Amino acid sequence: MSISNDNVSIVVNQEKISIELNEDSQVIQVTGESIIIQTNELLTSSDTDIFIVGEIPIGVINGSNATFTTQQNFVPLSIELILNSTIQTYGIDYYTTGVNTIILNISPVVGDIIRVNYKLG
């Protein structure tokens, strides 16, 4: 993921990350589900894009279930779905309905690993 906007927050469910945004020492530091933003300017939710990265969607992986939900609402068409380390194609491998539901065209089987990245809606 590349970042080109100075007002971007990233949430990662795995490891601690620090990202230098610009010469004004804006730093986003993420640890688990907590986020710390250090900035010289006040950022509000209206001018900050928040991305959820590496989330494990809610749903049973059993070979027959194909419907999964995100923990938070997403912006439609912002979903990136990764199945077993392979990015899936929207409209071919999966589609979305509403603002938190993902439906795969083939049900994942036991042992498959699903992760999703999305822009918080």
The verdict on residue 62 lying in a domain is yes
> 61: domain range?
57-112
Pick from 56, 36, 53, 63: nearest CA to 117: 53
pLDDT in tens, 44-99: 445 467 888 899 999 999 999 999 999 999 998 999 999 999 999 999 999 999 99
Indicate if 31 and 70 belong to the same structural domain: no
Indicate if 61 and 27 belong to the same structural domain: no
- 119 Cβ contact list (under 8 Å, min separation 6): 49, 50, 51, 52, 74, 75, 78
The answer to whether the pTM exceeds 0.95 is no
Indicate if 41 and 66 belong to the same structural domain: no
Cα Rg for the chain, rounded, in angstroms? 16
Residue pair 79/121 in contact by the 8 Å Cβ criterion: no
Residue pair 37/77 in contact by the 8 Å Cβ criterion: no
pLDDT in tens, 1-33: 333 444 444 545 444 454 445 444 444 444 444
